[in-house]
Chain A
Amino acid sequence: MTPVSRRRSTLQILLLSAGFFVLVAISVASVLLVNKAREDNALVVHTVEVESQVASLLVDIRRAESATRAYLLTSAPQYLSEYQSAAAGLPAALGHLQMMTVDNPTQVANAAKLKAAVEQRLAEFVLSIERAKNNDTVTSIDILRKGNSTDALEAIARIGRDMRAEEDRLLALRTATADRTQVLASSVTIAGSCMVLALAAVSLVLLRQSSRARDEAEARLRDSNVNLETIVDERTADLREANEEIQRFTYIVSHDLRSPLVNIMGFTSELEELRGDIFKRIATLNRSASLAPAMPQDATDVAEPELEGSDKQLSDDFTESLGFIKSSIAKMDRLISAILNLTREGRREFKPERIDLRELIDGIVETVAHQAVEANATIEVGALPNIVSDRLALEQIFSNLIDNALKYLKDGVPGEIAIEGRTKLGFAIFEVTDNGRGIDPKDHQRIFDLFRRAGTQDKPGQGIGLAHVRALVRRLGGTMSVASELHNGSTFTITLPIKWSGKNLGKNRDKAS
């Protein structure tokens, strides 16, 4: 993950949580505000109720008053009962009003004053009615005329006005509060919605950005994959070309080295013949000079003439020199041939096919049976897995290893050679074990090098076999190793793919020399 994408995803998570938080905040605020609005509304309603209560109280007082006056004038009992009904409801209404206004100290005071005024007025009514009952209407009318009663009445009216004014003030206040609360609630909702929308928009933009970034990254990945494949192909082609170049070079060099060698060998042989002729001539001359000149010329053709003293020494030196030259040439020829064979092997196309290993090894063992008897050795072939590989290469690998095992046995000890195989993880592992003379661990690498050998050099060989075997194993996509100690036998382990597809084959190689 790149820092940019990590930052982007962190931002996204932050945005999401911010959005969630805003939603929660809006919900809480809405609930609170709705509750507040309900309370405000209740208060408004309460104020209206108080107002109407005050109004109805005043109306009742008016009614009581008018009933009292009517009774005073007419003494009709119907007015008396009307007064009674109006007066009866007054204390209760007053109590109700007091209860309703208990939250407001101003109104409590007002209500108390009102109550006092109303009681005074009621007392006046009672007095008037009593007087009326005792037919003292005149006094009452007097009292009325004097206007004593107006004090209480005015007080009641004033207090009622005050209370109404107070409630009006409260009503205005509470209505304003309720309005504010509602405005607040709607603005909170609108602001929150806007914020959520903004957050959604931002996260949408981020999402699009990140998806674009992902698309770009994918495209880049694809490109780089394609590039990588191209590069690998190019490198492989280069390597293959280089390999083929080396093969061709080796082939040509060894081929061309052979031409002068033919000359050297040819003319050395010519010299050898000349040597014969020259020394024959010398011997003849010597003999003819010292002994009998009458000796027949053709006698030299029959027998090699005897050379004496320094002449013989000369002849021997000549022969020795020629011998060294010839053996060196022979050796050089063998080396060149070996390189030629190796490059030829390298140029050969391998054909993967299913191979019955048991049959293949048995075939090899059969061909070396005679050598095994001579070396007093037994060859044991164990269980062998069958694999898909190149038949000729496998034959060369195993016959080289078995040959080596037979070749380097310990003198005087009966040889025991075992060939075994097993499979592991798609690879077949073969082991060729002997109880022979073994290989010093310091020579384990060296024995796989071309023209290098190890141990006592008492057997003929060019030091090619194992180099060749390892080259073959590598070409078959495998590996090989040796485990050995001096005088304690050796185990050569070869690991080959069970199903070799011939993938590491070169392209068609040219066959011209």
Chain B
Amino acid sequence: MSDPVTIIMIEDDEGHARLIERNIRRSGVNNEIIPFTNGTEAVNYLFGKDGSAVERKGQPLLILLDLNLPDMTGIDILKRVKENKHLKSTPVVVLTTTDDSQEIKRCYELGCNVYITKPVNYESFANAIRQLGLFFSVIQVPPASV
């Protein structure tokens, strides 16, 4: 529990990524955020070259996952993460534009920890992200720099 949590943000829309990052920062979370704009790169990073994710073993991570990616669906990534023995305890926050109850249900069934709909109403969106920031601060060790 000594390492600070690294936030893996898998979000193809740069605007969304920027908004999410800003709001996370505003809520006082200063953890490192590694952004990915497509699924393949994110999967390569998470699971390594051999796909076993042995490189990520024991690393404190948090995954922000958009379901609509250009090259694959976020559901696939979620499934792989939750099936991998090294990554399955990593919290996954699903961020998506739809509030389709079927989709939400499926994500929870696959083991996602939080499901956040990106509302167009900016205030609620910012709120949700900030709540997420609080959520991070609960699970993280306070960074030494602050």
A263-311 interface (Cβ within 8 A of B): 263, 265-270
Residues of A within 8 A of B67 (CB): 513
Find out whether the CB atom of A513 lies under 8 angstroms from the CB atom of B120: no
CB distance from A266 to the nearest CB of B (A): 4
Find out whether the CB atom of A329 lies under 8 angstroms from the CB atom of B75: no
> Main secondary structure on chain A at its contact with chain B?
helix
* A513-B98 contact, Cβ under 8 Å, with A266-B122, A269-B122: yes
Find out whether the CB atom of A268 lies under 8 angstroms from the CB atom of B120: no
- For B110-146 the 0/1 string (1 means CB < 8 A from A) is 0000000011111101100000000000000000000
CB distance from B60 to the nearest CB of A (A): 28
Find out whether the CB atom of A258 lies under 8 angstroms from the CB atom of B102: no
Find out whether the CB atom of A261 lies under 8 angstroms from the CB atom of B120: yes
Find out whether the CB atom of A263 lies under 8 angstroms from the CB atom of B15: yes
Residues of A within 8 A of B106 (CB): 511
With an 8 A cutoff between CB atoms, is B73 at the interface? Answer: yes
CA distance A436 to B109 in the complex (A): 48
> Chain B, interface size: which category?
20 to 34
Find out whether the CB atom of A259 lies under 8 angstroms from the CB atom of B100: no
With an 8 A cutoff between CB atoms, is A4 at the interface? Answer: no
CA distance A235 to B19 in the complex (A): 48
CA distance A270 to B22 in the complex (A): 10
CA distance A269 to B129 in the complex (A): 15
Find out whether the CB atom of A262 lies under 8 angstroms from the CB atom of B16: yes
With an 8 A cutoff between CB atoms, is B38 at the interface? Answer: no
B13 in complex: contacting residue of A255, A259, A265, CB < 8 Å: A259
CB distance from B52 to the nearest CB of A (A): 27
A266 in complex: contacting residue of B19, B73, B75, B96, CB < 8 Å: B19
Residues of B within 8 A of A262 (CB): 13, 15-16, 19, 97, 118-120, 125
CA distance A255 to B22 in the complex (A): 24
Find out whether the CB atom of B102 lies under 8 angstroms from the CB atom of A263: no
CB distance from A259 to the nearest CB of B (A): 5
CB distance from B20 to the nearest CB of A (A): 9
Find out whether the CB atom of B122 lies under 8 angstroms from the CB atom of A511: no
B120 in complex: contacting residue of A256, A330, A512, CB < 8 Å: A330
Find out whether the CB atom of B98 lies under 8 angstroms from the CB atom of A255: yes
CA distance A258 to B67 in the complex (A): 13
Find out whether the CB atom of A269 lies under 8 angstroms from the CB atom of B126: yes
With an 8 A cutoff between CB atoms, is B30 at the interface? Answer: no
With an 8 A cutoff between CB atoms, is A394 at the interface? Answer: no
Residues of B within 8 A of A256 (CB): 68
With an 8 A cutoff between CB atoms, is A449 at the interface? Answer: no
CA distance A261 to B118 in the complex (A): 10
Find out whether the CB atom of A266 lies under 8 angstroms from the CB atom of B100: no
Find out whether the CB atom of B126 lies under 8 angstroms from the CB atom of A255: no
With an 8 A cutoff between CB atoms, is B103 at the interface? Answer: yes
CB distance from B16 to the nearest CB of A (A): 6
Find out whether the CB atom of B19 lies under 8 angstroms from the CB atom of A267: yes
Find out whether the CB atom of B98 lies under 8 angstroms from the CB atom of A266: no
Write 20 A-B pairs (CB below 8 A) sorted by A numbering: A255-B98, A256-B68, A259-B97, A260-B13, A262-B13, A262-B16, A262-B119, A262-B125, A263-B15, A265-B120, A265-B122, A266-B15, A269-B122, A269-B123, A270-B19, A333-B121, A344-B100, A512-B75, A513-B67, A513-B73
Query: Chain A residues in contact with chain B, CB under 8 A?
Result: 255-256, 258-263, 265-270, 329-330, 333, 340, 344, 511-513
Closest 5 CB pairs between A and B? A263-B15, A269-B122, A333-B120, A266-B19, A258-B97
Beyond A259-B13, A262-B97, A270-B22, 7 additional pairs, beta carbon < 8 A: A260-B13, A262-B118, A265-B125, A266-B15, A268-B122, A344-B100, A513-B100
Query: Chain B residues in contact with chain A, CB under 8 A?
Result: 13, 15-16, 19, 22, 67-68, 73, 75, 96-98, 100, 102-103, 106, 118-123, 125-126
